[in-house]
Structure 1
Amino acid sequence: MLPCLNKKLFGIDCLGCGIQRALSLVFQGEFIAAFKMYPAIYTLLLLAIIVGINFFYKIKYAQKIISILAILNIAIIVISYVIKMNQLI
């Protein structure tokens, strides 16, 4: 796994800390552990799948779907990060 440069330099997690481990857990079939590691993993995977499908086959409302999923992902990432940082205090 690639080390987190932010954690290495400043000693605190970044917003993306845990995504590599969560993706690895998804591929190993550990779905609950992946969600606990990085709650936005499934919405990010859904976003990646929709973007990939839209690249080859144009989806009718793709821009709207992608925008909604992007906003949802940002919200989940920020909220889970705030919760994780408050647990460390």
Structure 2
Amino acid sequence: MVIFSLRIMGTMQLSAIVYFINIERFMLPCFTKQLFGVDCPGCGLQRSLLFLFKGAFIDAFKMYPAIYPMIILFAFLLFGKFLKIKYANYITNVLMVTTVGVILVNYALKFI
């Protein structure tokens, strides 16, 4: 039973690795950039997530600096569904403002 579950686990990991290696072919283009010729505030998010899956954490930050506050926010919201946290609303608001602030600062710096 243990050997069978390990065999399934290895196959799942291998298929996940193959999936994330080939995912670059299926990335969506930025329609704002195609229509207007300028980046949108979300440009770089897909590539940043791809870098995270590949383990290139510094490259993920360079591609889209708001990726880490966004991950922290989503993780906190997910854990907040299962755990009772005393100041959950305050922490959520701080994380949202931080994430939006990093997105806007990054977007403004693209034009400089």
Alignment TM-score, normalising by the size of structure 2: 0.73
Q: Classify the secondary structure of the residue corresponding to 2:104.
A: helix
Equivalences, count: 86
Q: Which moved more, 1:40-49 or 1:4-13?
A: 4-13
Q: Could you say what the CA RMSD is over the residues aligned between the two structures, in angstroms?
A: 0.9
Equivalence for 2:29: 3
Counterpart residue number, 2:40: 14
Aligned equivalents of 2:80 and 2:95: distance in 1?
A: 14
The Cα shift of 1:27 comes to: 1.1
Name structure 1 gaps, 5 residues minimum.
Answer: none
Higher helix share: 2
**After the TM superposition, which parts of structure 1 deviate over 3 Å for at least 4 consecutive aligned residues?**
none
2:75 equivalent to 1:26: no
Gaps of 5+ in 2: 1-26
Query: How far did residue 3 of structure 1 move?
Result: 1.2
Instruction: Give % identity.
Output: 48
How many Å apart are 1:33 and its aligned residue? Answer: 0.3
Higher radius of gyration, 1 or 2:
2
**What is the TM-score normalised by the length of structure 1?**
0.91
